[in-house]
Structure 1
Amino acid sequence: MVRVKHRYLLLDILYPDPSSWPSSTAPKKAPLQTQSQLRIHSPTSNALTPSLLAKTVREGVADLFGDWGVGRLGGVGAGGVSVKYLSPATSTAIIRCPRASYRLVWMALTYMSCVPEIEGSRSKWSDVAMTRPCVFRVVRVSGTMRKAEEEAIRRARREIVRLRGAEEAGVLGNLVGGLEYEGGSAVVDDVMENEEEDVDMGSDEED
């Protein structure tokens, strides 16, 4: 029996365009670095469902590579691309695709530039207007779902450390050094001691 091999792409949805920032994403009393960080990583609309994201990726592959690309994914109705995890609150997703064609999916994600707006009602998921500008950034390619989940947790912890460091720098009059932490914070020290080392994106790909 032949085992179908897959790849799992962990991706972040980022909002670098100020026009896409919600007004209530970051607290006004927070330092400017913290506000910008929170707005770039702001939540995504619940209108972006796993099925809609998978459909958009398949359409992106079809636009870029035509019938050949769709065939590499397993055909139109084969479900070669599926979204295993999607969190609108953290703008994070994990996409599963065939191992032989994960680069096609990656390229389609690179060219995707819009998601649904935060506000607005819809009657059907197919009627959603993709008008909010964004960037899809692939941060990990793994051979197993577990490795992708571990990387998502590790990156979330690291982001918390960066934001805490920025907040502390604002409170102490920028004496700590902001996001580039160089010492003097017990909170950052305690968290960083428990952090795992960064893993290269392609180092743990499994067959």
Structure 2
Amino acid sequence: MVRLKSRYLLIDILYPDPSTWPSTPTSKPPNPQLAIHSPTSDTLTPGFLAKMIRESVAELYGDWGIGKLGGASASGITIKYLSPATSTAIIRCPRAAFRLVWSALTYMSGVPEPGQKRAGTGRERGCVFRVLRVSGTMRKAEEEAIRRARREIVRVKEAEERGVLGGLAGGEIAVVDSVMDVSEDEGMDD
């Protein structure tokens, strides 16, 4: 039996353009860390993402690129995981063509708008596809996605705590320090 060798690309979809960030009901500007990692619309389905990648490979590399992906049907590319909430995906492709897929992702610059009823109508939300990891197994790609998600949660929580408690903690520490200085001075006089 022949084993088909594949590569798994863990990708992150980022939205660096502030005009594409979701609006907040308050007057406070959104946290840039959260806004860049904002959710992707539900119109981006695994099948549509695979189609976008195949079209990008065909545009960049022509028939040779499509042949490396597995032929005219290009069944070699499958989306194993797509989360619109975290804008994360895991793509399986042939081992011989993972660099073609990576370069095609680099040149892709948009996903369907959130308000669209169906994908492919021409209106796109500008984005950047960032390859986070290339792995030989699905398990390692999943572990990396979980590790990165946990790290982002901790980073955002720390930023919120600094923002909320920054003024309070700074003021309390200064008051406590001044009280300690006064009590130490009084103790020296005795």
Post-superposition CA distance 1:100-150 (Å, at most 9, x none)? 11000000000000001111323xx4x443411000000010111111111
**TM-score in terms of structure 1 length:** 0.76
- Is the Cα contact below 8 Å between 2:68 and 2:97 reproduced in 1? yes
- Kindly report the root-mean-square deviation, in angstroms, between the aligned alpha carbons of the 2 structures: 2.0
Total equivalences in the alignment: 169
Cα pair distance change 1:113/1:161, threshold 3 Å: same
Change (3 A) 1:174 1:155: farther
The alignment status of 1:86 with 2:53, answered yes or no, reads no
Using the TM superposition, give the Cα deviation of residue 174 of structure 1 relative to its aligned residue in structure 2, in angstroms. 7.1
For residues 44 and 102 of structure 1, the distance between their equivalents in structure 2, rounded to whole angstroms, comes to 24
| Aligned partner (choices 124, 141, 147) of residue 148 of structure 1 | 141
Cα deviation for residue 76 of structure 1 reads 1.8
More helix by share: 2
Which of 23, 45, 51 is matched with 1:49 structurally? 45
Residue in structure 2 matched with residue 157 of structure 1 by the alignment: 150
Conservation of the 8 A alpha-carbon contact between 1:47 and 1:128: no
Long gaps (5+) in structure 2: 170-190
Residues 12 and 138, structure 1, Cα contact 8 Å, conserved in 2: yes
Where does structure 1 lack aligned partners over 5 or more consecutive residues?
A: 177-207
Counterpart in 1 of 2:10? 10
Contact kept, 8 Å, 2:9 with 2:131, in 1: the verdict is: yes
Structure 2: which amino acid aligns with 1:144? T
Deviation at 1:173, TM superposition (A): 2.1
Distance apart, 1:172 and its partner CA: 2.8
C-alpha deviation, 1:168, in angstroms: 1.4
- Matched with 2:63 is 67
Alignment correspondent of 1:111: 107
Distance 1:10 1:157, change over 3 A: same
Larger gyration radius, structure 1 or structure 2: 2
Matching residue of 1:20: 20
Letter in structure 2 aligned against 1:136: F
Determine the C-alpha separation between the residues in 1 that align with 2:103 and 2:150.
28
Identity %: 69
Contact in 1 for aligned 2:54/2:74 (Cα 8 Å):
no
Query: Is contact 1:117–1:129 with CA below 8 Å preserved after alignment?
Result: no
**2:12–2:88: 8 Å Cα contact kept in structure 1?**
yes
Letter of the aligned partner of 2:166 in structure 1? Answer: G
Q: CA separation of 1:142/1:174 partners in 2, compared to 1, >3 Å: closer, same or farther?
A: farther
Matched to 2:71, the amino acid is G
Distance 1:175 1:6, change over 3 A: farther
Note closer, same or farther for the CA distance 1:95–1:167 as it changes in structure 2 (3 Å cut). same
Match of 1:38 in 2: 34
